[in-house]
Amino acid sequence: MAKLVLNEEERMLADSARAFLDDAAPVKHLRDLRDAGRTHDAGLWKEMAGMGWAGILVPESAGGADMGHAAAGLLAGEMGKTLVASPFLSSAVIAATALRQVSDKRAAEALAAIASGEATYALAIDEGPKFAPEATQMEARREGNGFRLSGRKTFVVDGGFADRLLVLARTGDGLTLFDLPGERAGITREARAMIDSRDAARVTFDAVEATGEDVLGQVDGAMAVLKPALEAGQAALAAELSGLAAGAFGMTVGYLKERRQFGMLIGQFQALQHRAADLWCQTEVTASAILHAGRQLDADPANATLAVSLAKARATETAKHAVIEGVQMHGGIGMTDAFDMGFFMKRARVGAEWLGDYGYHAEQVARLRGF
């Protein structure tokens, strides 16, 4: 069984990430972006790429670091602590994992572009209010040697600014994954800021032309490429939510040590101590589940679904618990926009829905355990 403790290399990665993000992307950075009407910082992403983060899952032959999913989770977790807005999950994790499933020159070039920070990706699969890739209805109609894509995708995270789109469409009785440039004729993107001040888009495809070169993997064989990519994204998103919970917990404990009421620190009240201790226990158990999911993806990706869904379900609930406790224990200021806890609450809500909510992953866990 994989050890659920960090090795020296992983500790160094986490420490260096924390040092960089505390300086370059504290929570105030997200607030400043929001107040300026922006959803991402291209300059910050270039810096991350320069540190090798964009290539964390890219093979060394394509200019990446190839450190694995557990390492990617560590970076995502550190980003979660200060709510860093970046295309890390969409590009460096989901797209990179999808492209790694394909062995051809085009995929290798795309991986190199991701690692260098020259290309960003967004995943266009959702069509309804809930995550359900197998229920995709958008049509890719055969036309000669190619296809015409028509339909609409919603909740395309980073879709407003991404250079390329991974698009899931139905081809006859199967599903096919397409790798398309975001500016191709017939694609219309309606970018909008979500409640967490991040970018998402509604993307409309009006008879968009796609050739065999645009197919990622095999026609009617999308899930062979997409399933590993989705699970990599789910594990990394769970890690971000776990980091978010740790960040909210740290803010709350700091407040308990400073706020005085009735002539004493409120952190001396036993009821609040019990609540803080319970939250700490929850964050630690969830962190173990996150690391286990990363280890499973690295060691046995074909059988990692249970570990990944368990991690995403736990992280969703832990993040929710952390922000609710944070707001309540901060009292009235916890509900004001002037205080940062609200940013944590909003990101936790979006993260809970993206790539499958608690119910979706709980059902996966139950099914895989034979219930």
State the pLDDT at residue 5: 83
The band of 172, judged by pLDDT with boundaries at 50, 70 and 90, is confident
* Nearest one of 140, 133, 17, 7 to 86, comparing CA atoms: 17
Q: What is the pLDDT of residues 180-226, one digit of tens each?
A: 999 999 999 999 999 999 999 999 999 999 999 999 999 999 999 99
| ∠ Cα 207 118 56 (to 5°) | 110
Query: What pLDDT does residue 81 have?
Result: 98
Report pLDDT digits (tens) over 251-270.
Answer: 999 999 999 888 899 999 99
Is the pLDDT confidence value at 327 over 70?
yes
**Which CATH number describes the domain made up of 8-120?**
1.10.540.10
Q: CB of 258 within 8 A of CB of 369?
A: no
Please give the pLDDT value at position 3.
61
Question: What's the confidence (pLDDT) of residue 2?
Answer: 55
> Where in the chain are all domains bearing CATH 2.40.110.10?
122-221
CATH 1.20.140.10 residue ranges of the chain are 223-368
CATH architecture of the domain 223-368 equals Up-down Bundle (1.20)
CATH code of domain 122-221 = 2.40.110.10
| Contact residues for 310 (Cβ-Cβ < 8 A; gap 6+) | 289, 293, 361, 365
Q: Which residues of 96-108 are buried (b: 16+ CB within 10 A; e: fewer)?
A: bbbbbbbeeeebb
Residue 322: pLDDT band with limits 50, 70, 90: very high
pLDDT at 175: 98
Domain with CATH 1.10.540.10 in the chain: 8-120
The proportion of the chain whose per-residue pLDDT surpasses 70, expressed as a percent, equals 99
6: left (phi over 0), alpha (psi -120 to 50) or beta: beta
Q: What percent of the chain has pLDDT over 90?
A: 94
The rounded mean pLDDT for the chain is: 96
Is residue 51 very low, low, confident or very high in pLDDT (cuts 50, 70, 90)? Answer: very high
Helices (H), the chain: 8-24, 27-35, 42-50, 69-81, 96-100, 105-116, 222-256, 270-299, 305-330, 341-353, 358-368
Rounded to whole angstroms, the Cα distance separating 154 from 206 reads 15
